[in-house]
Amino acid sequence: MNVSFRAEVEELDDGVRVVSVFGELDQATVADLEQVFDEVINETSAALLVDLSDCAFIDSSGLGALVSARDRVLSAGDRSFGVCCPDSQVRRLLEVTGLDTAMGIVATRDEAIDVLRTNGGAPTTADG
């Protein structure tokens, strides 16, 4: 993996898996994240939350990986997908591309986990 990038997987008690992204998600690192997504999506039927709280940068290849992961999770049936992103710069890119609405971006990890746990659906877009 690239030194400025890493993705960590955490399994929560009630069927939610969290993939936390650290560093820069770009063409040089997207294959590493896609590998993590492959493992998580293929190994479990859990809801998937992508935590971009510590993601400093994301480019179009990173956005594509998020869309692909979301599509794979949702097409698997009884699963849900969410993204949390408090970083204003990364969040702005998600908003400009419309992915904030399409993926149900929320500001905090706790908020996203709560929504995934309570209604089994993707989080709704947070204000601001």
Domain span at 60 = 5-119
- Is the separation of the CB atoms in 92 and 57 below 8 Å? no
Q: In CATH, what number is assigned to the domain containing residue 80?
A: 3.30.750.24
Q: At 12, is the secondary structure helix, strand, or coil?
A: coil
Rounded to 10 deg, the angle between the 30-43 and 60-75 helix axes is 10
| Per-residue pLDDT tens over the stretch 35-78 | 999 999 998 788 999 999 999 999 999 999 999 999 999 888 77
The Cα–Cα gap between 29 and 66 comes to 13
| Per-residue pLDDT tens over the stretch 23-37 | 999 999 999 999 999
Q: What is the pLDDT of residue 127?
A: 38
Per-residue confidence band for 126, with pLDDT thresholds at 50, 70 and 90: very low
Domain count of the fold of the chain = 1
Residue 23 lies in a domain: yes
Q: What is the pLDDT of residue 115?
A: 84
pTM: 0.87
The two tokens of residue 80 are: 């849900």
